[in-house]
Structure 1
């Protein structure tokens, strides 16, 4: 288990993503995935109020509702660490205090709980003063409705400014970021953002840890059909350079008798500013691929760094 820096949240080394719960995976499939994750001592699930508003006939909140029904069925809320997000839901946009309070209540209702362990600003909102946004979070924390706050999709400058404001005003500060980061998509995070995260003593809980499925190794030169709802997104990574990354991952996976997905997630854990990577699963079989925790040697990390740089 891992303690997320700047918190007392003790979590499994894999955070289970839930952006497909209630859509690509229906309620029964989603419950089966969470059952399998929990059976491996998994206790950290990531969602957002806007999941899955992009699916026809959906309005957002479906993922939270599925997680809520599962926790009620299992009576396991106390043993779970639940992260959700505010600001990108079509009917609850932005980070005004009024919106944060309303969105939080709605998330609590859907999750069938009275507190959120980690509550993210899903995107920055520069139209609202930091005093208002962070003051609203401080109130929710004081009321016991939120334990910790975090930021997703911020610029390094705004992250630093936000945390400095919290520190200067003695109110709760963002304890983590959730930013895109994986072996074949390093440029977005590495550099200024990873430096800011390290300087601030917090950590990244990265999403797309297995690059929408590309890093499972299912997508190879000449493979035309893959049974995945995410195939189109994963194919964006289909380049000669990234196929070379898979070749090195094949060697490493063989050394550890592990899946390629497990190697991809192990590489993320080996990065100094990462605490816990996120990966999602549509089936129990996919849970088995991502749940194995592998420890890479320094040489293996360096080899993967070199081929993916």
Structure 2
């Protein structure tokens, strides 16, 4: 019997993200993607250790296998979309330290987040903490203004630039950040395969790809004898279910793709922080969150409140736990701007919803 995609492997310690010996021998969004780069020289790494929030989630932390790859990751991926934008250097290091401290090992960024500042900060943190082998590192290419698109040439330049900013010799999981319809898909896939064969990239996945495109990718990988996609990152949450469940869930199941939902907390709405128009005053995405203040979505929050009280857990953790209960979902992607927010996200790893609780959340969000 084949191993389920989202099987929890609690026998592996944090360092399980290290490459296998065989691999060592061989190797948020649109609004944020165009943010101006931070001034040159701003991103110097803090020289002193940053304090972290101690959390007891158990000595051995849960790990989930990422599709058919050999990667095993913490059930919540930490997004770097706010690094260098709404969090400065010290805050970023504090968030990353806390995530590692609570057992996290899955970092998600992109070459376009704050024009590469996110990657630079993560790279400085990994060097400072000597933590590269303790994390599974995912980044995305296709939207950076210096190397736009998904031609083989653009991707190679983009990956080389990412590796330099991250200060590493390999990317564990590379996402195609866009579906570049101006480039023959076979060319893009052959370009990714070349990056994998060179050892610069270990595995790859899609982002914002339709079900039909995922089928095309699988057929092409079989016909051309190239590396297949192993992961998918699309919007999916309690308030945004239709797109994924209508088109992509079936494809993910058929192809054993590991699903990493982004916008997993719907710009913070599913953390329970925003319930009235007064709550969103001054929020950087106030207009987006305001659209979520519907009767249906407030009913979702009410049910989340009820379940969270039963589990003595934060509302955000229950929202992520609902995703983790879905087939093929491996690790929702969420961002944090403070250590306390990291702790709340990490709580999703211990929350085990009952079938009835999942069904009730399904019902109120349908």
Instruction: Give the TM-score of the pair, scaled to structure 1.
Output: 0.95
Aligned residue pairs, count: 302
Show the counterpart of 2:75. Answer: 13
After TM superposition, list the pairs within 5 Å mapping 1:274-289 onto structure 2: 274-289=329-344
Separation of aligned partners in 2, 1:298 and 1:181: 20
Preserved CA contact (<8 Å) 1:219 1:226: no
Please state how far the C-alpha of 1:252 moved relative to its aligned partner. 0.4
2:254 aligned partner:
199
- The residue that corresponds to 1:219 in the other structure is 274
The answer to whether the 8 A contact 1:214-1:234 is kept is yes
Aligned-pair CA distance for 1:222: 5.8
Instruction: Give the equivalent residue in structure 2 for 1:298.
Output: 355
Q: Whole-Å Cα distance in 2 between the matches of residues 140 and 187 of structure 1?
A: 34
Which of 187, 193, 200 is the matching residue for 2:242? Answer: 187
Aligned residue in 2 for 1:307: 364
Tell me how far 1:118 sits from its aligned partner. 0.2
> SS at the partner of 1:191?
helix
Q: Does 1:256 align with 2:318?
A: no
* Aligned pair partner of 1:47 in 85, 88, 109: 109
What does residue 55 of structure 1 align with? Answer: none
Distance 1:81 1:233 in 2: 31
Pick aligned residue for 2:180 from 125, 133, 137: 125
2:189 corresponds to: 134
Task: Indicate yes or no: 2:66 matched with 1:4.
Answer: yes
1:178-226 deviation per Cα after TM superposition (whole angstroms, max 9, x unaligned): 0000001111211111111111111211101111100111111364456
Tell me, in whole angstroms, the C-alpha distance in 2 between the residues paired with 1:122 and 1:152: 5
> 2:158 aligned with 1:115, yes or no?
no
* Structure 1 runs, 4 residues or longer, greater than 4 Å off: 225-228
**Quick one: structure 1 residues 227 and 269, their matched pair in 2 at CA, closer, same or farther if it must change by over 3 Å?**
farther
Q: Report Cα offsets for 1:10-68 as digits up to 9, x if no partner.
A: 1111100110100101111011000000001111000000002xxxxxxx101000100
Distance 1:158 1:224, change over 3 A: same
In the aligned structure 2, how far is the partner of 1:102 from the partner of 1:3?
30
Whether the 8 Å CA contact 2:280–2:289 is kept in 1: the answer is no
Q: Deviations over 1:262-298 (max 9, x none)?
A: 0000000011131111110011111111110211000
Partner deviation per Cα, 1:236-284 (whole Å, 9 max, x = no partner): 2111110000000001000100000000000000111311111100111
Give the superposition deviation at 1:86.
Answer: 0.7
Give the number of the structure whose residues are more often strand, by fraction.
1
How far does residue 235 in structure 1 lie from its aligned partner after superposition? 2.5
Change in Cα spacing, 1:282 to 1:231, as seen in structure 2 (3 Å) is: farther
How far apart are 1:227 and its partner, in Å? 7.1
Aligned mates of 2:333, 2:285 — CA distance in 1: 16
Q: How far, CA to CA, are the matches of 2:279 and 2:101 in structure 1?
A: 34
Decide whether the 8 Å contact of 1:95 with 1:128 is kept in 2. Answer: yes
Contact 1:92 1:103 in 2 (8 A): yes
Q: Residues of 1 paired with 2:137 and 2:88: CA distance? A: 20
Q: For the aligned residues, what is the CA RMSD?
A: 1.3
Residue 293 of structure 2 is matched in structure 1 by: 238
For the 8 Å contact 2:112–2:143, the answer to whether it is kept is: yes
Please show how residues 32-43 of structure 1 align to structure 2 within 5 Å: 32-43=94-105
TM-score, normalising length: structure 2:
0.80
Gaps spanning 5+ residues in structure 1: where? 53-59
